[in-house]
Amino acid sequence: MKKITIGRFCVLGILAMALLAGTSTVRADDAYTYTGSNERGFLWHRPIGSGPDISGNNVRGVATFFSLSDTSRCMINSAQDFDGYIHLYSGIPDINDQLVGLIAGDDDGPMGVGDSVLDVNLSAGFYTLITSGFSNSSAGFFHNRVQCRNSATEIIPGFCNFFPGVPLANQACLNGFAVKVDNISNSNFGGLGTPVPMGSGDSAVFWFFGETNFEALVKVLNGCGINGNFWVFLSAVTNQRYRVTVRAFDGFEKSYSNPLGNRAQAVADTRAFPHCF
C-alpha cells in the first residue's frame, strides 16, 4: 500500500533528516491540511519561481516535510492573508544554495495574490514545502492543503525524528524535537519516563513512578527570532537520578542529567540548538 508521511516544522537548519514518524492515519481521499504563520519563521533567500535565479529577498518562511512511498500526482494549495509564495524541494534545501533540489514554485495562483498552487508528479522520496512571503514585508497566516491522488495512499501526519528503540508512548514531540527521559533510578518501568497527555506543542510533563505523580517539566521553545537558537527549559521536583535527552530533526542530541540523591536543578539552555536559518 502506498503511503505519504507528512510533517510540519517552523524553521530549517538541516544537513540531513531521518524518515519521519507519525501515529494517526487519514484516508487518501481526504486531504492533509494545516494552518500556520510565517511571521516568526526562518529568514530565507527566496528563489524566483522554480529558478534558476534567486530574488535577493530574505523573506520569512515555514517548512513542511512529507515523504512518498511511490509515484503519485500531488496537488498543493496554499491560501494566505498576505502576498505569499510556495516552493517545493526534493529532499532538504541547501542552506547555502536555495536552488539545489528545487522542483517548482508558485507566487500567485488562479485566485491572484494570496493564492499559490502546485500540481506536480512526484516519485517516491522525501520532500520539503516552504511557504514564505513574496518580500521581506510579507507575513501573516496561511492555510495549506496537500493531496496526492491515489486511492491506495494514506496520509500519516507527524514531524519528529523520534528515538529508535524507545516506545512512542515514552516520547514527547515538542516544536519538532523529540524528548525522552531515561536512566531513572528505582524505576519499575524500564527506566523510562512517560509524558502526560497535555495537548501542548512546546511543553511536556513526565511521570516516573506513577501516572498521577508528575516529576519533570520539559519545554522546547523557538527562540530563533531572538538569538538564533531553540531553547530547552527543564524543571523537576525530585532527587532521583534521571536523564532528559532532546533530539533534533537532523539527529543531533543534547542531554541533561541529575544524579541520585541530588535535588534537581532547573535548566535554562537558551543556546541548546542553533537549528535556525
How confident is the chain (277 residues) per 10-residue block, as mean pLDDT?
48 36 39 77 84 86 75 90 94 80 91 92 83 92 84 57 85 88 95 87 92 96 88 97 91 94 96 82
Same domain as 172, residue 148: no
Same domain as 125, residue 38: yes
Q: Is residue 163 part of a domain?
A: no
Same domain as 152, residue 173: no
Same domain as 230, residue 146: no
What's the confidence (pLDDT) of residue 8?
Answer: 44
Same domain as 106, residue 22: yes
**Where a domain ends, among 157, 184, 202?**
157
**What is the reported pTM?**
0.58
Q: Helix (H, G, I), strand (E, B), or coil: what is residue 226? A: helix
What's the confidence (pLDDT) of residue 9?
Answer: 46
Name the amino acid, one letter, at 27: R
Buried b (16+ CB within 10 A) or exposed e, 126-161: bbbbbbbbbbeebbeebebebbbebeebbbbbbbbb
User: What does the alpha-carbon distance between residue 57 and residue 268 come to, in Å, rounded to a whole number?
Assistant: 34
Phi, psi of 38, deg, nearest 5: -100, 10
H or E, element range at 224: helix 224-227
Same domain as 190, residue 152: no
Name the amino acid, one letter, at 55: S
Which structural domain range is residue 189 located in?
168-273
For 88-122, give the DSSP string. EEESSPBTTBTTTTEEEEESSBTTBTTEEEEEEEE
Q: Is residue 7 part of a domain?
A: yes
User: What does the alpha-carbon distance between residue 174 and residue 78 come to, in Å, rounded to a whole number?
Assistant: 25
**Where a domain ends, among 110, 127, 157?**
157
Same domain as 127, residue 26: yes
